[in-house]
Amino acid sequence: MKANDVQLEEYILQHIDREPDFLKKLTRDTNLYTLKPRMLSGHLQGRLLKMFCNMMSPKNILEIGTFTGYSALCMAEALPADGELHTIEINDEMEDFLLNVFDEAGTDGAKVKLHIGDALDIIPSLDLTFDVVFMDGNKRHYVQYLDAVYPKLKKGGVIIADNTLWDGHVLETDSKDAQTVGIMKFNDLVASDDRFEKVIVPIRDGMTLIRKL
């Protein structure tokens, strides 16, 4: 990131809603206890996710890829008292950490229902209709995730797919990297699918907003 970009990001963070204290602590813990803290959504993306969800007034949210729970808690802030956020994490070694995070988060954490396992196995078992889906799992499987969540998403519901610019690697037309290829296939599919209204927002690593028509 260029020096000027760092200054601009700092300026942005100073002029948006502050990061709640429990999320500041989670950011510190993520940097201390995980190998890839860059995967954390962070202050800017977290406030954006919360605002998107507030605009949707969701009752049920689905998240694919929990990591340390930051994005889940941001979206849970937008849920009513009886709302639920179902989040799926494939790494079972994160379970105790995540349960503790959600417990410490209090009211918002209580809205989060953690599922450990493969999203492609778990999604069909969820007897719910979702207002919002946040897709941030294995990039190789984004197309399969889309197929799995489509029947579970209400008409007018929104999928938020993260990392869809993949650090610029989507421009590498001859890439052999499986995750890059997965993202590119997903982007091409969404762009040509008339079941959806869609737009890519070039924030961080790219977020695609996909509304079911």
- Domains in the chain, CATH or no CATH each: 3-212 (3.40.50.150)
pLDDT of the residue at 174: 86
3-class DSSP assignment, residue 85? strand
Q: Which residue has the tokens 């969800």?
A: 53
Q: Is the pLDDT of residue 3 over 70?
A: no
- Say which residues have a Cβ less than 8 Å from residue 169's Cβ, sequence separation at least 6: 175, 177, 180, 183
Q: Return d(Cα 59, Cα 22) in angstroms, integer.
A: 23
Which two tokens mark 72?
């889940």
173 confidence band (pLDDT: 50, 70, 90): confident
Q: Is the pLDDT of residue 201 over 70?
A: yes
pLDDT in tens, 89-137: 999 999 999 999 999 999 999 999 999 999 999 999 999 999 999 999 9
pTM for the full predicted model: 0.94
- Phi first, then psi, for residue 154 (nearest 5°) are -70, 160
Per the CB < 8 A criterion, the answer to whether 45 and 19 are in contact is: no
Which two tokens mark 145?
């995730």
Per the CB < 8 A criterion, the answer to whether 177 and 169 are in contact is: yes
Q: Return d(Cα 157, Cα 210) in angstroms, integer.
A: 8
Closest by CA to 203, choosing from 4, 34, 47, 26, is 47
72 confidence band (pLDDT: 50, 70, 90): very high
Q: Which residue has the tokens 């492609």?
A: 120
2 confidence band (pLDDT: 50, 70, 90): low
Q: Is the pLDDT of residue 157 over 60?
A: yes
Q: Return d(Cα 80, Cα 89) in angstroms, integer.
A: 23
Q: Which helix (H) or strand (E) holds 33?
A: helix 21-33
- Express as a percent the part of the chain with pLDDT over 70: 99
Q: Return d(Cα 141, Cα 183) in angstroms, integer.
A: 8
Q: Return d(Cα 63, Cα 97) in angstroms, integer.
A: 17
pLDDT of the residue at 6: 85
In the chain, DSSP assigns E strands to: 60-64, 84-89, 112-116, 130-135, 153-162, 196-201, 207-212
